[in-house]
Amino acid sequence: MTEVVIVKYGEIALKGANRPVFEKTLLRNLRWALRDLPEARVTKEHGRFRIEGADTAAIQSRATRVFGVVGTSVARAVAPIYEDIALAAEEMLGSAVVTGKTTFKVESRRSDKSFPLTSPELSKRLGAHLLAAHPQVKVDVHQPQVTINVEVRANVAYVYADTLQGPGGLPVGVSSQGLLLISGGIDSPVAGWLAMRRGIRLAAIHFHSIPYTSERAQKKVVELTEILAAYSGDIPLYMVRFTEAQLELQAKAPPALMMTLMRRLMLRVATELAAQKGIPALITGESVGQVASQTLESLAVINAVTCTPILRPLITYDKSEIMALARRIGTYETSILPYEDCCTLFLPRHPETRPTMERVEEAEAKLDIQGLVQDCLSSVEEIMSQPHTAASLYEGGPLITFS
């Protein structure tokens, strides 16, 4: 009897002719997640990955946060004969009983049709055996406290009780790359995490206003990017000096349009940098109606400066949902550190919530927009953000609970 971790995936199984590409990427990402556990060995099975290693708890924890994984289970691998399966199930239910569980059910799946019992027959026979072995428990097929799962395959049978829910989605790397506009607040790191959940590799761009913002504010952004890198591998972070551009806008632009003009300038710079790096999409943490620059009218005016697709994973989320997800993925505590970013520092008292293109273009006509873009691009510094090893990362389970 061997203890292994079974890794399950969902959406990947629907990918048709491209399925091997997705499975190969997920296999690579699982191996990366386990890179400092040299004894861990990942193998591909039909519809599953099997991971062997001494520390199954650590293996399950790492595997559960890999994008594309819908669930992981610590299972006992036994010979595909009834007696061995029954013994493993009996021991597993016994462990649950010790923790106070009093109801159970058995779910069996027989992919090896040479096994002498059908799936329903195996479940029924095992249920009777477990009731005899543990008379203090009862069967509850609707809301059991523990479910004994059995998978019978050609050369092995797996018996397991608990499945830890993973993030699902697609493996990072199957959907090209996106450039995340990361501010240091709560929203943008969550948007980046959700983009990675759809298979997108991240690069990030941050606009700072040194000396008006502190070096600690920059370090905060670096740390947030490192936390995201813990889910995917190294992330290039492009730091852009935005000070002179903001001072120019402050001196020449109508105060009410300051935020709109800043966002348009940021998108111009991000679009140009993305083109230079061969990145086909931008990612932001915007949510409809959350702040003045995120009304539909503002978003339309801001969008107009770029033809590059802008992904907004949080567009329909409310703040409480975003905060809950930030806590789950480990970015919240860093995001709330009290260091101002360039947007909050130059925020007007009464920003325009419904800017018109006519007024915005009139204001920009008084500015050397292209010169400001080039000045920003010439200031870019690249930092390679490596995985944050001390962060409290996603540990499985539902991402958020919608109210």
Residues 73 and 100 grouped into a single domain: yes
398 lies in a domain? no
pLDDT tens per residue, the chain (403 residues)?
799 999 999 999 888 899 999 999 999 999 999 999 989 999 999 899 999 999 999 999 999 999 999 999 999 999 999 999 999 999 999 999 999 999 999 999 999 999 999 999 999 999 999 999 999 999 999 999 999 999 999 999 999 998 999 999 999 999 999 999 999 999 999 999 999 999 999 999 999 998 888 888 899 999 999 999 999 999 999 999 999 999 999 999 999 999 999 999 999 999 999 999 999 999 999 999 888 778 999 999 999 999 999 999 999 999 999 999 999 999 999 999 987 665 666 677 788 889 999 999 999 999 999 999 999 999 999 999 999 876 678 888 787 655 4
Q: Exposure pattern of 182-200 as b/e (b: 16+ CB <10 Å)?
A: bbbbbbbbbbbbbbbbbbb
Residues 122 and 269 grouped into a single domain: no
Residue after which a domain boundary falls, among 137, 165, 193: 165
Residues 50 and 158 grouped into a single domain: yes
Round to whole Å and give the CA distance between 21 and 27.
Answer: 10
Number of domains comprising the chain: 2
Residues 89 and 190 grouped into a single domain: no
DSSP lists the bridge partners of residue 178 as 202, 281
Structure pTM? 0.92
Residues 199 and 271 grouped into a single domain: yes
* CA end-to-end distance (rounded Å), the chain: 44
Residue after which a domain boundary falls, among 143, 165, 187: 165
Residues 225 and 300 grouped into a single domain: yes
For position 138, which CATH number holds? 3.30.2130.30
The boundaries of the domain holding residue 343 are 177-385
Residue with tokens 């556990």: 37
232 lies in a domain? yes
